[in-house]
Chain A
Amino acid sequence: MTTTLPTPGHYDVLNAVVLKQMAVGAAVSEATGVGLDDVDAILAELAGAGLVFMAGDSALPTDGSAPALAEVAALRYAALRSDPAVLAEVDRFEDTNTQMLATMTRWQTVEVGGRQVPNDHTDPAYDEKVVARIDRLVQRLGPLLDALAAHDPRFALYRQRFDAALDAVDSGRREFVSSPTHDSVHTVWFEFHEDLLRALGRARTE
């Protein structure tokens, strides 16, 4: 660990701030599993080091945040990056990710006479098929989350967030499929994807 991010908690908190861009302590605590008091203390230290900027109760990343995370990730996840169990699952993830995004698209648009039009959600049977597929694709993430959690237990938290989003969908809250203003399946997936790329030291391609 470098001096700027002395503990795993510092990495986790900063990582959450960078993923969310603007986050209050409670949201960071929920996403990281770090206790609220510790989150507040860590945010204060990070602010002192110029790695986050506090606007009222919200923490925002600075230009230094992402480089600091990248530097620490290289050390912290060195073993993860060369673990064949992780890498095999990562290869599978590429395919799962493609399918998930295609399935999200089917949730949002339907083809009508050769044109894509917004899904007006008046066909529950269609919607149910799509959600069932989203559910299965989330389940397929299981082995990857297990492999990652063997190096850093924090990754297991994604499962709870996915389950919470899927429960909300099943209780009729459709916005928990893909709305970016909710902790929807796609929001969690998008954050996980970014988090994974950072852990692996890979760049996003789209």
Chain B
Amino acid sequence: MTDPNLRYTDIEDDLRASVRDLLADRAAPESTLARFEAGEHDLDLWRALAELGATTLHLPEELGGQGASYRETAVVAEELGAAVAPVPFLGSAVLASAALWHLADDDDARALLSDGGAVAVLAVPLSTWDSTAELRVDGGVVGTVRSVADAAAADVLVVPADGALHLVDARAARITPVLALDQTRPLADVEFTGAPGTQVAGSGPDAVRAALLAGAGILAAEQVGLAQRCLDITVDYLRQRHQFGRPVGSFQALKHRLADLWQRIVLARAAARAAADALTTGVDVPVSVSVAQSLCAAVAVQAAEECVQLHGGIGMTWEHPAHLYLKRAKASEIALGTPGRHRAALAPLVDLPG
């Protein structure tokens, strides 16, 4: 097996810089907090990301994409995680896109992928880790999916039902936004009562499985971005905050905790890069993704929890953005399989049966 490329290329660094500039401008903590309170996506920001090409990086040019790869998509995810940006990236640009990518022989699927304006969202619970579909097709699509990420922003729902994917106009489903632990990634319950859908030719459980793997792999990158940002703002704060006549960052107890966090982020970044590279090359995908998701989810939670704790009182306030990171990190840990689920998935893959 050849080694994965774990570096960031110059092109990826440039991409990161432009996404970071955009987010610094358009997704400052105060505006994200306002979105959190409203439980709304920032669709203007989403369109700006689309104009940069950041929402279709891994798709080939003939499908309206940038002809890059999941490696670049992962870099965007890192920056979106660092800003906890309220855009439907995971539900649409990753999950729905990955589900439909290899079904582009289907005219409707191809038209949807190539339509830069439409938001397609995969109708699965964000917490799902396998592809058990509970929806039926009986005249139209019937059934309810709870806690669907980004569904409120959807124009089209990509719905796994009766072992195939169906495209359903979002207006034909009942989409009920719910209060979410992480309102920067709005959730909705989606109810279908015979909604007319068109079945995507050639689609089956494999398409959903591929989408969930891609989602979990890219989510790992988002978690690394979030963890690094939590570390950075905590370090900045501990340098300027004084107590006992000293910057609190000079106290060894705090320094050692941040050194440990940094060390875990180093490992998490390597694992997330490996997952993005595996998704790109198709080599060793399930192992790489489960390794990354199992580690990065936990590291993001550790980083966000340390961010709250080491900020002390201010970290507990509504005003300070630390809670946005905590909520995103904890919700992301549950998303697309908890670390424990991914370890269980790994066991047979690496010949360590229980």
Partners in one complex: no
Where the two chains meet, the residues of A that have a C-beta atom closer than 8 Å to any C-beta of B are: none
Where the two chains meet, the residues of B that have a C-beta atom closer than 8 Å to any C-beta of A are: none
